[in-house]
Amino acid sequence: MKWTKFKIKTVTDAEDIIISTLYDIGLEGAQIEDKIPLTPLEKEQMFVDILPEGPADDGVAYLSFFVEEKENGTLLVQGEERTRESILEDVERELDDLRAFCEIGEGTITVDETEDIDWINNWKQYFHQFYIDDILVIPSWEDIKPEDDGRMVLHIDPGTAFGTGMHETTQLCIRQLRKFITPETELLDVGTGSGILGILSLMFGAKHVVGTDLDPCAVPAVEDNCANNGIRPEQFTMMIGNIITEKAVQDEVGYEKYDIVVANILADVLVPLTPVILHQLKPGGIYITSGIIDDKEQTVVEAVKAAGMEVLEVTYQGEWVSVTARKR
């Protein structure tokens, strides 16, 4: 299968109205490329594999619409076969109409042909097995090498949820978890993503894990990854919701029940999370945080101290920081 891509250069303020307008003529969905900074909610949802801040917003946006191309060269729009030229004319006409009452920038259109893409699985070519210290992390589509027999093996397929273990923040958390987990450990993983921290905690010997996440995609990702690693469903409980702001989630998670709480989240989320999560920890419980870029280290340390916790250790990898503390 081939696709024809109609790519429009516009301005960020016109993204929504162009997408809506072209939806009315049968171009459904759009790939958006811009430099608009993430909103607080989007940052809140990006729990792991965090990248530094991107380039400044320049107001420019590119909208790409993909239309299926038939073997005879026609394009399929809402079940109707159309020519490329007729679709292009429709798009140009709609953009000209929009110019009469709003700013759309250049409004230029480029048309390209692209080969069939497996949108869900194409990313797999970039994710290969790797090591976190003595742990082999391997996706389902690769085989364990003979020389890795006897290693601890984590089978992980990130799918649509965050978390492969490659990022420094995840590895910082893993090393801290190993230091404190016992066979009686009840662990809470805030911002579970693919479940990698909770699953490894169970492999290290923890008794039970509760995970929370804002993204419903985390539930099937955790279920699949648990099954791939021999983790029984009753060992890992998932909850969807915002533990910072939703009292119902806090109640469901429970109070003073956890020996360890781990949170691999942005520093700006850790600050409001810390005084809340204090109530989930048992007295003497361990609080492991990461997702902290180096210039935010003091911000998180101060938030931890302000909540009345004792800072035990600050560890580093690359430009990332992990803060480990104890509830007094």
Q: In the predicted model, what is the mean pLDDT of residues 307-318? A: 95
In our burial notation (b when 16+ CB lie closer than 10 A, e otherwise), range 27-66 reads beebeeebeeeeeeeebbbbbbbbeeeeeeeeeebebbbb
Give the pLDDT of residue 78. Answer: 82
Domains along the chain? 2-115 (3.30.70.120), 165-327 (3.40.50.150)
pLDDT category of residue 257 using cuts at 50, 70 and 90: very high
CA separation for the pair 277, 283 (Å, rounded): 12
pLDDT category of residue 176 using cuts at 50, 70 and 90: very high
CB 249 within 8 A of CB 242: yes
The pTM score is 0.68
DSSP β-ladder status, 258-264 and 236-240: unpaired
Model confidence at 284: pLDDT above 90 = yes
